[in-house]
Amino acid sequence: MRISSFVSFLGFILLIAGTFSPLLRPFGLFSWDVYALNKPYGIVILIVAIIGILGTLLQQHPVTKVTAYVSLVLVVLLYVAAVCKVNTSFSFIPFKGISAGLTHLIKFKWGWLVLFAGAITALAGVLSNRPPVVVTPQINV
């Protein structure tokens, strides 16, 4: 296994670990992972990571490249959706001060770093997987 393939493999493993790590902590009571936020979306991220691992192990570079890009897009979309959900979760309260106070009680946790690190590491491994350039010297006689 080449170094770049190992980096992609490590990125997909981090992506799987990130789906089980805490992402949000509402009111300091409990932690939510990807599956507590949106179970079908979490399963899609898990399947993409598994396909990426299989593509890496079976040396299918186009499959690995597509799954690395898709995993980054999925993580970014999940983050945007979580930010929008947190900011609008108490919009039904007519008092803006109380709504903002309750919104600040929902904290983002360290699992986002693991998810983004996994997706970016997988993408870095794919992008560094280019074949070496061979330069042949020309001799002028």
Angle, alpha carbons 125-129-135 (nearest 5°): 145
Calpha distance 123→21 (Å, rounded)? 21
Half-sphere CA count of 135, side-chain side, radius 13 A: 1
Spatial CB neighbours of 123, under 8 Å, sequence gap ≥ 6: 11, 68, 69, 71, 72
Q: How far is CA 120 from the centre of its chain?
A: 7
Contact present, 26 and 106 (Cβ < 8 Å)? yes
Contact present, 52 and 68 (Cβ < 8 Å)? yes
In the chain, which residue ranges form alpha helices assigned H by DSSP? 3-20, 34-37, 39-57, 61-88, 96-103, 111-127
- Which of 100, 114, 1 is CA-nearest to residue 53? 1
- pLDDT (0 to 100) of residue 34: 93
Contact present, 118 and 13 (Cβ < 8 Å)? yes
Per-residue pLDDT of the chain (141 residues; tens, 9 = 90+): 678 889 999 999 999 999 999 999 988 888 999 999 899 999 999 999 999 999 999 989 999 999 999 999 999 999 999 999 888 877 788 888 888 888 888 888 999 999 999 999 999 999 985 666 677 778 776
- 91, two tokens: 């919009």
Question: Which residue type occupies 33?
Answer: D
- 13, two tokens: 């493993």
